[in-house]
Structures are given as structure tokens and as C-alpha cells.
Chain A
Amino acid sequence: AQSVTQLGSHVSVSEGALVLLRCNYSSSVPPYLFWYVQYPNQGLQLLLKYTTGATLVKGINGFEAEFKKSETSFHLTKPSAHMSDAAEYFCAVSENYGGATNKLIFGTGTLLAVQP
């Protein structure tokens, strides 16, 4: 079965600093990977996804993630944090249920705080 591990339930950075949120996955087949963001009292919004092809994926709001098969990782980065980036971030892997539908397996989330 596939699984996702997010290292660090809370990450705090200063405004303008690099954001690095870690995600490692376990999968016996080529994975399809996603990052979602959740702002307070809202639903999840897709940041970016990796399916096939280019291993560096660019998403919305200046975020990007790199798929590294050798490290089974899909870490999320942003060069310069903004106050509006404060939110909870979820990494997820997609699992196919025998062709019927795709199920998302979520990590436990990382809460990002941005200090002024």
C-alpha cells in the first residue's frame, strides 16, 4: 500500500526566507504526487502535481516541488516566504483502486508559520 510521510508538523520561517516542506512517499508503482494547501476555515486547494515527465514541477503562488525517485521524496519549496503563505500544507499520493477510481493518501500535514 502507498503511504506519505511529512517530516515536521510545524515549520516556522521568517518573511523572505526559504520555505522547505518535506514529503517522502512509499509506493510500489510509479507515484502520482500532489501538494495541497489549506488556509484557515477553508477547504484544500491544489498547489501542484507530479504525474510524469519533468521532475521539477511549478505550482501556484511561487511554489515548486522536485520529484526524486532515488530518495522517494517530493519536497515543496518557495524561495521567499510571504505572510500570506501561512497555512497548512498536505502532501498526497494517488492510488488507483483497480481502475474504478483514484484515492488520495494524505500525509498528516505541516503547519507553516511565517514570522514578520
Chain B
Amino acid sequence: NAGVTQTPKFQVLKTGQSMTLQCAQDMNHNSMYWYRQDPGMGLRLIYYSASEGTTDKGEVPNGYNVSRLNKREFSLRLESAAPSQTSVYFCASSRRAGQVNQPQHFGDGTRLSIL
């Protein structure tokens, strides 16, 4: 069972470069999410997609864009990377939109450093 798969696992960028983080889930989930994790701050929601064809901003969307390519895939793009975007990025999915008792399932993360 693959669950949620993120690529790449590690990446180093220079300031101003662009990059797309990929995420795919094989659990037939409707909702998908992108978080960033920084020391002492827990996880903060960047963007989410309640269902295929919809995306919405989370808590910290500035500097990012997303695409829900299909039901399985949800990508996160950094158009012009900045050192403040150095972080660990997690993708997650949940089964059914609108049901607050549904847990989210997480990928193993992408560790991104911006020099």
C-alpha cells in the first residue's frame, strides 16, 4: 500500500528558482492538502483541495500555487523560491470532504532548502 507519495524527498534550490513538488494518493480520497513544517511551529496549512477541480488557500499561501491535476494528484509550485520557504513540506489526503471525523493520511515529506 503506497498511500500518499511525495516526490522528490530532498531538494536544494537557489533563491529565485522555481520548483514543483508532486503528490499522489492511491486511496481514492477526495480531499488533499499541503502543509509546511517548521521547528517549533507545528504544521501549517498552505493550500487544500476539497475535491477534484477545487483549490483554496490555507493559513500561509503566499509564494505558492497549487494544481489539482486529477483526483489522485495535487502539486505545489514555488514560482520564485525564497530562503523563508526552506522547510519540510507534507502532502496529506482524507477520504470525504466535509466530514470532520475523517483523519488525514500523510506522505513522508519533501525536505526543501533554499540558499
Report A's interface with B, CB cutoff 8 A. 9, 32, 34, 36, 41-46, 49, 51-52, 90, 94-97, 99-104, 106-109
List the count of A-B residue pairs having beta carbons below 8 Å apart: 74
Shortest distance from the beta carbon of B89 to any chain A beta carbon, whole Å: 11
Interface segment among B62-70, B78-86, B94-102: the answer is: B94-102
With beta carbons under 8 angstroms apart, the residue of B31, B54, B97, B108 that contacts A42 is B108
Report B's interface with A, CB cutoff 8 A. 4, 31, 33, 40-45, 48, 50-51, 54, 56, 58, 90, 92, 94, 97-109
The dominant DSSP class at the B interface is loop
Bound CA span A106–B51, Å: 22
Cβ-closest 3 pairs across A and B: A43-B106, A101-B50, A51-B101
Shortest distance from the beta carbon of B6 to any chain A beta carbon, whole Å: 8
Asked whether, in the complex, the Cβ of B98 is within 8 Å of the Cβ of A103, the reply is no
Q: Which residues of A are found within 8 Å of B104, using beta-carbon distances?
A: 104
Q: Which residues of B are found within 8 Å of A108, using beta-carbon distances?
A: 40-42
Bound CA span A101–B51, Å: 8
Bound CA span A102–B102, Å: 8
- Which of B102, B104, B108, B109 counts the most chain A CB atoms within 10 A? B104
Q: Which residues of B are found within 8 Å of A51, using beta-carbon distances?
A: 101
22 A-B residue pairs with CB within 8 Å? A9-B40, A32-B101, A34-B103, A41-B108, A43-B4, A43-B108, A44-B92, A46-B103, A95-B100, A97-B50, A99-B97, A100-B54, A101-B31, A101-B48, A101-B50, A102-B94, A102-B98, A102-B100, A103-B58, A104-B104, A108-B40, A108-B42
